[in-house]
Structure formats: C-alpha cells, structure tokens
Amino acid sequence: MPTKKEEKKIVKKIKKLKPHHLFRFKYPKLFIFVLCIILAYFIFSNSLIKDKIFHLENLSYLGVFIAGFFFSFGFTTPFAIGFFLASQPPSIFLAAILGGFGALLADLFIFKLIKITFYDEFKKIERTKTFKEIDGFYRLLFKRKIRHYLTFIFAGIIIASPLPDEIGVALLAGATKISPFIFAVISFLFNFTGIFLILLLSSL
C-alpha cells in the first residue's frame, strides 16, 4: 500500500496530465494512413460502387489517369488502388500507361515539395536507435557505389508499391544526386509496373 506522501505524488501527476496527452500518437499521419486503408476497403467492397465503376467503360481510362495521380499520395493511395481493382478497363496496358503518367505528375509535385506530408515523420524515424543500427549495418555490408544503386532500386520498389511515394521520392531526392529527367523516367517506369500489376490482379 502506498503511503499518504506517495498518494499525493500520484494525484499531482494525474492532474498534470492534459487530455490530449492521453490520446497523442507518435506517428499520427501513419495512423491516419491505416484508417484510410480500412475506409477504402469498405467503400470499394460495396457492390453498388463496384458496379458503377465497372460500367464506366471507356471513361474508366480517365478514371485510371486520375486515380494514378492519387496513387502517389499516402492518404489517397488506398482509394486509388480500390478504383484500379474495381475499374477493369478494356486494355490493361493502356490503362497502366495513363495511370503511370498520372502518378508521374504527382511524383514530380512531391519531388519539388518534398518537405510536406509524411516527410517530417520519416525524419523522426531516421533518428530512432533502430533505424540508425540498420543504417550502420547497411553501410558496413555494402560499398558506397553499391549502396547508391540499391537506393535507386529500393526507392523504385516503394514507388511501385502501395506504400506512400513520399518515402521513395525522399530517398531519391535526399540520398542521391538525381536530375528531374532521370527521376521522371524512374517514377514512370515503376509506377507503370505497380499499376499494371494491380490491374492485372483485378482481371484474374
């Protein structure tokens, strides 16, 4: 049993706690990203919405281009993927090209304004002990030139994946000296590949 003196200390600590401290998240944007995934799943699982998207026919190409743009932004990526899965355009290849160009436009925007959206939280992660240990092992394992090429590959895989493109763009913009043209080529190729695979999956 705590003494009266200890009880007073506990009461003082409780009083100092503000309501927002009890519900504060260390990575709020990543938490919202997870909520977006859940919301997108429920929206595009609705048979009525899926049916309306499916019957867009040739207009689905325009939809895929717009969805491609939103495929690059963390919070809207789950909704873009939901649209890709539900659209089933007549030509997957053409749709992937249009979606790739849409995603490229978004990535160029992110490339110019890299310090918005998720970037601040990624910098927090970089300062964590776990990340520093992984980075130290990575530097020890691979030579500088190999690390350079691995960064391009890893960033490209992230851009092609459902993960927020901000991560891949931040890697390319921050860890490498890359021209806008080379960045555009990498962005389009990997986004095209990612979108093509999603559309191919939806057609199976």
Look up the pTM and report it.
0.68
How many whole angstroms separate alpha carbon 168 and alpha carbon 137?
A: 20
Of 62-71, 95-104, 131-140, 186-195, where does mean pLDDT reach its minimum? 131-140
Report the percent of the chain where pLDDT is more than 70: 74
- Looking at residue 193, its amino acid is T
Asked, for residue 18, whether it belongs to a domain, the answer is no
Return left, alpha or beta for 117; rule: phi > 0 is left, psi -120 to 50 is alpha, else beta.
left
**What's residue 9's pLDDT?**
61
Asked, for residue 11, whether it belongs to a domain, the answer is no
Asked, for residue 197, whether it belongs to a domain, the answer is yes
145 burial type by CB count under 10 A (0-12 exposed, 13-18 middle, 19+ buried): exposed
Report the percent of the chain where pLDDT is more than 90: 14
Calculate mean pLDDT across residues 173-184: 74
CB burial string 44-71: b at 16+ within 10 A, e below: beeeeebeebeebeeebbebbbebbbbb
- Render pLDDT for 67-111 as a digit per residue (tens, 0 to 9): 999 998 878 888 998 888 888 888 899 999 999 999 999 988 888
Asked, for residue 191, whether it belongs to a domain, the answer is yes
Asked, for residue 6, whether it belongs to a domain, the answer is no
Calculate mean pLDDT across residues 113-135: 67
Q: Quote the tokens at residue 9.
A: 């200390």
Number of structural domains in the chain? 1
Asked, for residue 24, whether it belongs to a domain, the answer is no
74 Cβ neighbours under 8 A, 6+ residues apart:
29, 33, 117, 118, 164, 165, 166
- Residue 42, CA distances (Å) to 34, 50, 55, 82, 188 in order: 13, 11, 20, 10, 29
**What's residue 122's pLDDT?**
64
Torsion of Cα atoms, 109 then 181 then 191 then 189, to 10°? 170
Asked, for residue 55, whether it belongs to a domain, the answer is yes
How many whole angstroms separate alpha carbon 5 and alpha carbon 14?
A: 15
Q: Quote the tokens at residue 142.
A: 């691979």
**What's residue 102's pLDDT?**
94
- Render pLDDT for 14-58 as a digit per residue (tens, 0 to 9): 555 444 444 455 667 778 888 888 898 888 888 888 777 766 766
Residue 135 scores a pLDDT above 90 = no
**What's residue 171's pLDDT?**
76
Average pLDDT score, the chain = 77
Asked, for residue 13, whether it belongs to a domain, the answer is no
Range of the domain at 163: 29-203
Residue showing tokens 């990203």:
33
